[in-house]
Structure 1
């Protein structure tokens, strides 16, 4: 992933439609970024905005969250947008917490809902 800025996108199942629409709406801003996404989220983003440079990793529960965490730890991800569903229990919750911890440790911007993601995108686009 050398060169350019990299944005990580993840969405829980109940938020995947929201993430796809968010990516479609912000495709002009995202066009200058490399995007990494967990498997299903990445597929939905590609469907909504096929012109974006999206690399799909594994599904979150199958290691995709950890793959993005590794990219954060190696300095390859510059910002994280993770649409979290706080109302649905997640069997891989420990992976999600580890990912968030890495974003905090490595001090990368992280948005966990659409309102915060809008603010983050506004700063990326400025």
Structure 2
């Protein structure tokens, strides 16, 4: 189950109840070593090879499946580069609207925490990152 960030909660309230506009765009997957929390205060993975991965290929809409009953999931494999600096344990993932900095949109814990050693690659097969709005 995913959670909204504080940023996205406020943005959606403004867009749906206060007449503001919101235009989505690129979405990037980030990895965390602690809970990012709704406020985005967790520790994003630190490794010299780490970079957030774009969830889509050519257009933002191809990154996630068409929602059904408030649920969507990644529509393509997402593969991160191999870790190089040392062992690290990934506990959470999040979606951002930018490759660096930007606004966190959604976040969730890993179903199983993953300890990565140098040369290990972490990936998310199609359908494994699920966003549920309930």
Which range, TM-score by smaller chain? under 0.3
Q: Which has the higher contact order (CA 8 A, sep 6+)?
A: 2
TM normalised by structure 2 equals 0.22
Q: Which has the higher strand share?
A: 2
TM normalised by structure 1 equals 0.23
Structure 1 or 2, whichever has the larger Rg, is 2
Q: Which has the higher helix share?
A: 1
